[in-house]
Amino acid sequence: MLFVNDVKWNETLSFRLGSLGALVSDQYARALAVHDLKPKHVGLLGVLDAGLAASQLEIAGLMRVAPSLVVSLADHLESMGAIERLRDPADRRRQILSLTGKGRGLLTECTTTALALDAELAAGLTPSQQAGLSEALGLLAASYGLPVRE
């Protein structure tokens, strides 16, 4: 077995976070299926709820996805009544997305689903370990420019 500095490949933070992230993402995606949503739909709802961006192009940049994916996500959410598209009065070429009451309710349901998964995921950790994990993940997210809770 290959070791580098006494660490095996499957003991690296990158491998563990990636593997665990894939498993948890799959669980979350399965749980969201009852709402006919995928995690990226919830991400778009969250961006709108937080007021981080409004135009499809800005949202694509923030979510680090192709603008065409945001259009597809927005099409689906609009068909569900979760968001509205409006023309930007300052630039008629831009579409501004806004969250509807139904979208807020859907985001609340998805957040509740995520919290249940969080509880399941962290069930074997002490409260101190849970707090430490939350703090460490927040620091890592911030270091990559991801939105974090203040």
pLDDT number for residue 101: 97
Residue 96's DSSP bridge partners are 55, 86
Q: Token pair of 7, please?
A: 């660490």
Residue 4, pLDDT > 80, answer: no
Domain-located, residue 150: no
Q: Average of pLDDT values for 64-85?
A: 96
Say if residue 56 is exposed, middle or buried (CB neighbours under 10 Å; 0-12, 13-18, 19+). Answer: buried
pLDDT number for residue 145: 84
Work out the mean pLDDT of the chain and round it to a whole number.
92
Domain-located, residue 111: yes
pTM of the predicted protein model: 0.86
Residue 147, pLDDT > 80, answer: no
pLDDT band at 1 (very low <50, low <70, confident <90, very high): low
Domain-located, residue 147: no
Q: pLDDT digit string (tens) for 91-125?
A: 888 889 999 999 999 999 999 999 999 999 999 99
111: CATH: 1.10.10.10
pLDDT number for residue 77: 98
Residue 30, pLDDT > 90, answer: yes
* Range of the structural domain that residue 80 is part of: 24-116
Q: Average of pLDDT values for 73-82?
A: 98
Domain-located, residue 5: no
Domain-located, residue 141: no
Domain-located, residue 54: yes
Instruction: Reduce the secondary structure of 36-75 to three states and give it as a string.
Output: CCCHHHHHHHHHHHHCCCCEHHHHHHHHCCCHHHHHHHHH
Domain-located, residue 32: yes
Looking at the structure of the chain, the number of domains it has is 1
Domain-located, residue 127: no
Say if residue 131 is exposed, middle or buried (CB neighbours under 10 Å; 0-12, 13-18, 19+). Answer: exposed
Residue type for position 58: E
pLDDT number for residue 114: 96
Q: How far apart are CA 136 and CA 76, in angstroms?
A: 34
Which residues have C-beta within 8 Å of that of residue 43, sequence separation ≥ 6?
Answer: 63
What letter would DSSP give residue 122? T
